[in-house]
Chains A and B, each alone.
Chain A
């Protein structure tokens, strides 16, 4: 474990690249590769942060030369909207769809838009990462946290709980991302509504937080000091900016942290089905899951993945999971009430 801590991002990436190139030998035998090469590319609609998505794409392209990954990164809700809008116009574009709103997969499965496919090795994943019917699997997980800028806020004064954020002293000093854009935040809102009720968000809105869209953005806002405290956001994004040397500290609130498991699935209409399966196996492989854990600070369902020493174990956190069916049913309510309280 100690040596891993010294591996900074680029080094770990190089190691991963080396491993993937090394493993390429075995992959060249994969009979699907020829078919995937004929297809030429895989189209990946993903809500994973752009830099992380591009990194995964580059790893795949290095492992399977001749198959490109077309990364279409946007917020979870936008992904669903784009995909449905395209289908309505009879455009079949998406091969692999990955969002952070588990409710989407309830909807997509019901509409028969997902292909039945279990990525190699995904059987062994932790229970919360698997669809019982075998349509989608959790590619990664993150938890929503509070974070603050240590240059502006002394550790002693930093908020420790979700309810601390309601203190009027944080008026004009908070930033929150948007459930109408981000699946991570939609999940967060539902988890906290269970914990503290809608009154919590009504009160939070009184503190006039700055509204950004992506769950990735609060980390940048806090790092720049534009708002010193983030009221939500995926812990991996704060972990990354902290690793880059920004004065950011993460708080895991005592009441519990909303757990966001982000599923990935192949679509039933995938125009590049072989490339899609190859890509899906690849992103669920131990190597890629380990890269996501090491350099991106994400949690994984893979039983053998290890974590950097400076990240808390999932088992040490009080997790607040949400039910995918409920998330799908209450999606509209979450967006509407949030806009009602926060204004936009």
Chain B
């Protein structure tokens, strides 16, 4: 910290206004809406009140929604852990066949919008018309369905297969950093394979396991699309769907604000717990790179293990993608795809509609804009915090990742309150969506930029300064070229996050500012399966094109490094 002082003074150069602007933007992005939200939750015409809290917390149906969310989040986290942890261990430490392909498929599941997965699973496991259930009935002759996707267990399953990648990434990254020395030492001292795993490996990975679990729980808490598609038909609400339901006519914004608070509190506590866990990760053995890692031979378990991985990936990727493709080309999705049933009408109907066309344009505009501004802002903030340019940079680092705790629906309620009244009348424009996306993607963008800048040692910049270059010139000629690939990666992550966003958009859109995810949701409410499948396929293609372009540009597997992210 001794060097911080001179550097801070140095920072008071021509670039200072830019840092201050970035800081102001961040404060405005987060504090303004959250402040409004808190204010609305205690506001009444008669002044300060706790009446809204009393109403939302005392109402049995709303209590039920809270309880449902707790059940959903904890069970989804647990199932995600049970899937993600073994998968991470298998791909990171064993001689499992097709490890690279499995890693890629886990990432495919990671970038799949969860609401699309939920929608696909309606076609796969609707109790009567679902493909898997019909197959099961034909094979066994049993009348009852194998899986009823419109139920709490069904919902948990669908949420878990799209959140397990969070656990996977946490654990796979940690396993990749643990050297095998200790494990080998234990083996030499006579410990069996199981004993080594239990007494050496597990304790070292435990923080990663717990924090992966917490991340998965956070994701499940924040989801809107999957419960809307699977829980509402079964006749139950979660907090997120209930928040959305408050926006009927007449809207009950105060109730929504008050009901947002328990969710906000829960996510904040969880994140705090996760930080504590990771903060204690002081094992000397974790963190070193370059050490030898022993590959564990699975022996006769190789193929059964591969089979298990493929079952998981089948559920998350192959089956949903297959059924979406099929529905996109079918007149009736539940019928076999015969010549009679084959059609291109879904495609022409979807793409000829003015609503869809403008939604596609809006989505791409917002994606590009948010990605550009987000990547720039995140990089600047990461620069400020890494180079400790201003006082309170730790607070900035915290604020930049703070939106992780704000579920999309809650953020939308907050933005709605903040920007539907003067002086900031943004509702009805793309700007309110832009602000929502920028705020929501900031943690992802910041983490990525932070990692990038950590890798660029200040010495290079200092050398430049000593040789007489100003900060701008150093930034342009030294830092920017070194950070280039990191910035591109940030751009792509934000873009992918934006084009799939549903939970904030569903409250903030107006008919002129619909985005693809909102159109899909509208179509869902009318049961237009063919058109949804078409748009879903389109969205997936956009996502994968971005991923492929990014990987070609950067020439490496950037997805593997990602840790935190926003839910759709």
| B472 partner residues in chain A, CB cutoff 8 A | none
A214 within 8 A of B: yes
Report the minimum CB–CB distance from A224 to chain B (whole Å): 4
Interface core residue of B241, B332, B525, B526 (most chain A CB under 10 Å): B526
A150 within 8 A of B: no
- Alpha-carbon gap, A93 to B420, bound state (A): 16
Contact B128 A227 (CB under 8 A): yes
Segment from A49-57, A163-171, A300-308 that makes contact with B: A49-57
- Alpha-carbon gap, A205 to B235, bound state (A): 10
Residue of A nearest to B427 (CB): A89
Contact A216 B249 (CB under 8 A): no
Segment from B106-114, B199-207, B286-294, B348-356 that makes contact with A: B348-356
Contact B248 A91 (CB under 8 A): no
Contact A93 B235 (CB under 8 A): no
Report the minimum CB–CB distance from B530 to chain A (whole Å): 10
Residue of B nearest to A341 (CB): B235
Contact status of A85 and B61, CB under 8 A, knowing A93-B512, A216-B526, A246-B332: no
A75 within 8 A of B: yes
B383 within 8 A of A: no
- Alpha-carbon gap, A70 to B150, bound state (A): 35
Contact A85 B427 (CB under 8 A): yes
B247 within 8 A of A: yes
- Alpha-carbon gap, A340 to B333, bound state (A): 33
Contact B355 A71 (CB under 8 A): yes
| A86 partner residues in chain B, CB cutoff 8 A | 427-428, 510
Segment from B71-79, B183-191, B226-234, B401-409 that makes contact with A: B226-234
Contact A211 B232 (CB under 8 A): yes
B528 within 8 A of A: yes
- Alpha-carbon gap, A262 to B127, bound state (A): 34
B126 within 8 A of A: yes
Residue of A nearest to B352 (CB): A54
Q: Which of A69-116 contact B (CB under 8 A)?
A: 69-75, 77, 80-82, 84-86, 88-91, 93
**CB < 8 Å neighbour of B527 from A80, A84, A214, A228:** A214
Contact A344 B231 (CB under 8 A): yes
| B420 partner residues in chain A, CB cutoff 8 A | 85, 88-89
Contact B428 A91 (CB under 8 A): yes
Q: Indicate with 1 or 0, residue by residue over B409-436, a CB within 8 angstroms of chain A CB atoms.
A: 0000000000010000101100000000
Contact status of A93 and B510, CB under 8 A, knowing A72-B355, A343-B235, A344-B231: yes
Contact B128 A81 (CB under 8 A): no
Contact A180 B529 (CB under 8 A): no
Contact B249 A50 (CB under 8 A): no
**CB < 8 Å neighbour of B128 from A213, A228, A246, A335:** A228
| B354 partner residues in chain A, CB cutoff 8 A | 68-71
**CB < 8 Å neighbour of A226 from B129, B234, B511:** B129
| A279 partner residues in chain B, CB cutoff 8 A | none
Report the minimum CB–CB distance from A301 to chain B (whole Å): 25
Q: Indicate with 1 or 0, residue by residue over A210-252, a CB within 8 angstroms of chain B CB atoms.
A: 1111101101110111111000000000000000101000000
B326 within 8 A of A: no
Report the minimum CB–CB distance from B514 to chain A (whole Å): 9
Report the minimum CB–CB distance from A218 to chain B (whole Å): 8
| B528 partner residues in chain A, CB cutoff 8 A | 50, 220
- Alpha-carbon gap, A41 to B290, bound state (A): 65
Contact A226 B428 (CB under 8 A): no
Contact B128 A342 (CB under 8 A): no
Residue of B nearest to A332 (CB): B250
B236 within 8 A of A: yes
- Alpha-carbon gap, A183 to B332, bound state (A): 27
Main SS class of interface, A: mixed
Report the minimum CB–CB distance from A241 to chain B (whole Å): 9
Report the minimum CB–CB distance from B192 to chain A (whole Å): 51
Contact A339 B61 (CB under 8 A): yes
Residue of B nearest to A75 (CB): B525
Contact A210 B150 (CB under 8 A): yes
Q: Which of A44-71 contact B (CB under 8 A)?
A: 45, 49-51, 54, 68-71
Contact B251 A54 (CB under 8 A): no
Report the minimum CB–CB distance from A133 to chain B (whole Å): 23
Contact A73 B522 (CB under 8 A): yes
Contact B349 A51 (CB under 8 A): yes
Q: Indicate with 1 or 0, residue by residue over A317-344, a CB within 8 angstroms of chain B CB atoms.
A: 0000000000000000001000110111
- Alpha-carbon gap, A223 to B126, bound state (A): 13
Contact B428 A214 (CB under 8 A): no
| A82 partner residues in chain B, CB cutoff 8 A | 510-511
B197 within 8 A of A: no
Report the minimum CB–CB distance from B363 to chain A (whole Å): 17
**CB < 8 Å neighbour of A91 from B233, B427, B527:** B427
Residue of B nearest to A57 (CB): B354
Residue of B nearest to A217 (CB): B527
Contact B355 A226 (CB under 8 A): no
Residue of B nearest to A331 (CB): B249
- Alpha-carbon gap, A71 to B250, bound state (A): 24
- Alpha-carbon gap, A217 to B245, bound state (A): 19
Residue of A nearest to B65 (CB): A344
B440 within 8 A of A: no
- Alpha-carbon gap, A223 to B150, bound state (A): 18
B331 within 8 A of A: yes
Contact status of A244 and B331, CB under 8 A, knowing A89-B428, A340-B61: yes
Report the minimum CB–CB distance from B279 to chain A (whole Å): 41
B548 within 8 A of A: no
- Alpha-carbon gap, A342 to B232, bound state (A): 10
- Alpha-carbon gap, A49 to B525, bound state (A): 11
Contact status of A344 and B526, CB under 8 A, knowing A89-B428, A227-B128: no
Contact A224 B523 (CB under 8 A): no
Contact A214 B525 (CB under 8 A): yes
| A286 partner residues in chain B, CB cutoff 8 A | none
| B129 partner residues in chain A, CB cutoff 8 A | 224-226
| A244 partner residues in chain B, CB cutoff 8 A | 331-332
Q: Indicate with 1 or 0, residue by residue over B306-339, a CB within 8 angstroms of chain A CB atoms.
A: 0000000000000000000000000111100000
A-B contact pairs, 6 of them (CB 8 A): A71-B355, A74-B522, A91-B510, A216-B527, A223-B334, A339-B61
- Beyond A43-B511, A74-B522, A344-B234: 7 further Cβ-contacts under 8 Å? A88-B420, A217-B525, A219-B527, A223-B332, A224-B332, A224-B334, A225-B129
4 interchain residue pairs of minimum CB distance? A343-B235, A217-B527, A220-B527, A81-B249
